[in-house]
Amino acid sequence: MNMPNNFLDPGVREPADPGTGDPFGTDLISRLANEFFASQPIRMPALPAIPATPPATLAGVPVHVPVTPATPSRAATGSSSQIDLSGGFPSTHSADAPPPVHPKGVGAEFEQSGAAPSQGGHIPGSSDSHEFGEPYFCSKSFAPASPHPEVGNSLDIPGSGPSGNESRFYFLKGIESVGGLDLPGSLEFPVANIVAPSGTFDVEGVRKDFPALHQHVNGKPLIWLDNAATTHKPQSVIDATSAFYGRDNSNIHRAAHTLSDRSTHLFESGREKVRQFLGAADAKEIIFVRGTTEAINLVAQSYGKPNIGPDDEIILSTLEHHANIVPWQILAGQTGAKIRVIPANDRGELLLEELPKLFNARTKMLAITQVSNALGTINPVEEIIVIAHGFGVPVLVDGAQSTPHIPVNVQAMDADFFTFSGHKVFGPTGIGALYGKSHLLEAMPPWQGGGHMIRDVTFGKTVYQNSPEKFEAGTPDIAGVVGLAAAIDYLFGIGLPAIAAYEHRLLEYAAAAMASLPGLRPIGTARHKASVLGFIISGIDNDRIAKHLDQNGIAVRAGHHCALPTLRHFGLESTVRPSLAFYNTYAEVDAMVQALRQIARR
CA torsion sign for 382, 388, 394, 400 is negative
- Give the C-alpha distances (Å, rounded to integers) separating 390 from 323, 368, 558: 26, 16, 40
- What are the DSSP calls for 221-234, one per residue? E-EE-BTTT-----
CA nearest to 355, candidates 328, 391, 325: 391
Fill in the DSSP letter of residue 100.
P
Taking residue 377's Cβ as centre, other Cβ atoms within 10 Å add up to: 28
* Residue 273 burial by Cβ neighbours in a 10 Å radius (0-12, 13-18, 19+): buried
CA nearest to 353, candidates 380, 392, 323, 314: 380
Four-CA torsion 500, 506, 511, 516, nearest 10 degrees: 170
| Chain centre distance of CA 97 | 32
Strands 554-555 and 223-224: parallel
* Residue 581 burial by Cβ neighbours in a 10 Å radius (0-12, 13-18, 19+): buried
Residues for the chain: how many in total?
602
- Give the C-alpha distances (Å, rounded to integers) separating 72 from 48, 78, 122, 193, 439: 12, 10, 48, 9, 39
Catalytic residue list: 562
Buried b (16+ CB within 10 A) or exposed e, 127-156: eeebbbbbebbbeeebebeeeebebebbbb
CA dist., res. 92 & res. 140, Å (int): 10
Give every CB contact of residue 194 below 8 A, 6+ residues apart in sequence.
Answer: 83, 155, 157, 169, 172, 495, 497, 498, 500, 501
Alpha carbon distance, N-terminus to C-terminus of the chain:
76
Taking residue 216's Cβ as centre, other Cβ atoms within 10 Å add up to: 9
Partnered with residue 419 across adjacent β-strands are 398, 434
- Give the C-alpha distances (Å, rounded to integers) separating 143 from 100, 137, 149, 536: 20, 13, 12, 22
Asked whether 410 and 419 are in contact (CB, 8 A), the reply is no
Partnered with residue 535 across adjacent β-strands are 522, 576
| Chain centre distance of CA 391 | 28
Buried b (16+ CB within 10 A) or exposed e, 336-362: ebeebbbbbbbbbbbbeebbeebbeee
